[in-house]
Chains A and B, each alone.
Chain A
Amino acid sequence: MAHKWGMAIDQDRCTGCGACVTACHAENNIPTVGASQAARGRAMHWIRVERYWEGEFPDVKLKFRPVMCQQCDAAPCEPVCPTYASHHTAEGLNAQVYNRCIGTRYCANACPYNVRFFDFFNPEWPRPLDAQLNPDVSIREVGVMEKCTFCVQRITAGEIQAEAEKRGVKDGEIQPACAQSCSARAIVFGDLNDPESAVSRLARQERGTKLLEELGTLPKITYLAKQTQA
């Protein structure tokens, strides 16, 4: 049976440290846009940690929510792309094909989660920063859209390795950069088509909800609500 990749994010465990954001930048060759561009709202954080609080210091109640592409099964970003740059794969991922993108930015408008980003300028990595670039991930030029891919390069690598070894992919073997780097292990990635995988079990928990579920996008990330007050 084909895989259906999904995630569960435990808001009880998330400490808002931001390691996932940094790891995502490093793994996926995402440029840092600089302070002035970030101030204009152009930071390209494929995963962002949203921070919510109530009350005044020192009686503050904090909650963190990491948000990345929800890989919706009924993604509103897909039918609106005129060149099929945004389409659905057989494994349930929303693919972004940079080569087909002509930059209409309709997908970003249609996305209710605001998880799609536009390359406003050609990215630059002045030496020696270019040495850190991940050779498995292409660099996007100015004018195309990009977003979280669930580290599809790692998924493909894991599947190729498993097939070479003539076995199925083991649960937990493929880890996107964010899940790998989360110190609290709040992000769990796996195959939703395998009912015994960690992500499927977590998705069945009672405190699990989907983001903006009422819009009918069928997102594949389950957020486990925060139970403790801290």
Chain B
Amino acid sequence: MSHVSHERLTADLLRPLEQTSWRFYLLVAFLGSIVAMGLGTWMYQMYMGFGMTGINMPVYWAFYITNFVFWIGISHAGTLISAILRLVNAGWRRPVTRCAEVITAFALMIGAMFPIIHLGRPWLFFWLMPYPSQRLIWPNFRSPLVWDFFAISTYLTGSLLFLFLPMIPDFALIRDRATGIRRRIYGVLALGWRGTTKQWHRLETAMQIMAIAIIPVAVSVHTIVSFDFSMAPVPMWHSTMFGPYFVAGAIFSGIAGLIIAMASLRKFLHLEAYLHPVHFENLGKLLLMMSMLWAYFIFAERLTTWFGNDTGEMNVFYVTQRGSFSPLYWTMVVCNLVIPFTILALRWLRTIAGCVVASFSVCIGMWLERFLIVVPSLSHKYLTYSWGHYRPQPVEIMITIATFAAMTLLYTLFSKFVPIISIWELKAGDHPSAALYPAPMHEHKLGETHA
């Protein structure tokens, strides 16, 4: 990373904070208006009644739960890249960690809205929290929805802290260069950071501990989200495989989201010197691997179902494979498997643009996958007399679109106020700890021959 001088690095990465163009304001206004429309739609839904959605008997969960699972899945990007790559000392993670952690934080916040949006009485959502209430009743800890509450709040707290801690030295940097009110605000955010060796050690140790802690939490979160489905006796939901299947799918969609975010930042903030094609190559290879893993899970699930030939399950199986859901199903397969495999397996296609195309394809495919898990099973449960169907209504579509706008808006605003690439971590790459790179054995030193 030391091809760029530290002064130039600092200047480049602080430029978005110091210079704002009209394009920024236009983008924020555009996205902000979509988000406002989404919020208004939600108010309208609460006021008019939940019947404004397309939910009916028996399809009681649809778009909102699909979005919930989708956004929680996207949030696994940060944990994977930031925590896992940190633990294995992969140096190429340094410019990427903060982009990834920001995705996690915002995707979690957006995803966590959906359990509230989809409630019949959302103003009572706080009854999911364990507090001594005057009703003398506590939440039902046997319910997967209560597990969701604990898992998501733990993951959100952990991710926000995991994002915030390494921002402290960068806040100190900005504080020192700023004046007036900006200096005061960044000074507060930087806490009492000075940069003593003791503080650096504590920070790095804390990051190490957090990285180790956040990985099992991330795995547990999407597993628990999958338990929302697998704990119910619904055909093709009640599968023991859902935990790992969902986690793999989450990491898959998370990497896709990260590639899109990184490519956008590289283009719009002119970070070509910091986000190199090799970063996208590496992430593209990870994306390809996850596509294979996803295909493995789908195959295992479908084969087991088909071979078992349980009547209830086969109804859902065929309605997705050949019936009314088949156009969506096969689109999903093309988007998740065919397109990414073609692009990412061929080196001459695995460019930044290629990775971005593959990632958009994966995002579409994974959204469809969540939809196809929720709706076909619910509309074809065990009693055929009460099968149903689902059509999304304008409120659901508007709120879905608004969440994508919200994610983009939050990301844009964040990159305006905080350097999107961790400045001190890039600089620290030039000063690796001796413990990370053990001294080479005498025989393995490059270029030496023995007389």
Contacts and interface: CB of A to CB of B under 8 A. Distances in A.
Nearest to B58: A114
A103 interface: yes
A103 to B, nearest CB: 2
Nearest to A99: B135
Interface stretch (A81-89, A155-163, A166-174, A184-192): A81-89
Contacts of B432: none
A52 B385 CA distance: 9
B60 A108 contact: yes
B127 A82 contact: yes
Contact of B120 (A84, A105, A110): A105
A145 B50 CA distance: 12
A119 B60 CA distance: 12
A108 B379 CA distance: 12
Nearest to B143: A82
Give the interface centre of B139, B143, B382 by most chain A CB atoms within 10 Å. Answer: B143
A215 B382 contact: yes
Contacts of A114: 57-58, 381, 383, 386
B231 interface: yes
A34 B121 CA distance: 23
B55 A212 contact: no
A32 B59 CA distance: 20
Contacts of B382: 112, 212, 215
B367 to A, nearest CB: 20
A40 B60 contact: no
Contact of B146 (A51, A82, A212, A217): A82
Interface in B377-394: 378, 381-383, 385-386, 388-389
A208 interface: no
B374 to A, nearest CB: 9
B432 to A, nearest CB: 48
Contacts of B381: 112, 114
A64 to B, nearest CB: 11
B261 interface: no
B231 to A, nearest CB: 6
Interface string A136-157: 0000001111000000000000
B33 interface: no
A42 B383 contact: no
Nearest to B378: A109
Contacts of B125: 102
A103 B49 CA distance: 12
Contact of A80 (B122, B137, B145): B145
Interface residues of A, number: 44
Interface in A85-121: 100-106, 108-110, 112-114, 117-121
Nearest to A142: B49
Interface residues of B, number: 45
Contacts of A212: 382-383
Nearest to A87: B140
Given A42-B56, A108-B60, A144-B120, A120 B232 contact: no
B128 A118 contact: no
Contacts of A80: 142-145, 231-232
A50 B385 contact: yes
A40 B56 contact: yes
A67 interface: yes
Interface in B38-56: 48-51, 54-56
B50 A142 contact: yes
Given A101-B120, A112-B382, A121 B51 contact: yes
Given A80-B232, A118-B50, A142-B49, A108 B143 contact: no
Q: Which 10 pairs, one residue from A and one from B, show the smallest C-beta to C-beta distance?
A: A103-B120, A143-B120, A120-B51, A41-B56, A114-B386, A105-B60, A143-B121, A121-B49, A110-B232, A82-B145
Given A83-B128, A104-B145, 12 more contacts: A76-B232, A79-B142, A80-B143, A84-B140, A100-B127, A100-B135, A103-B121, A106-B145, A110-B231, A112-B382, A119-B120, A143-B120
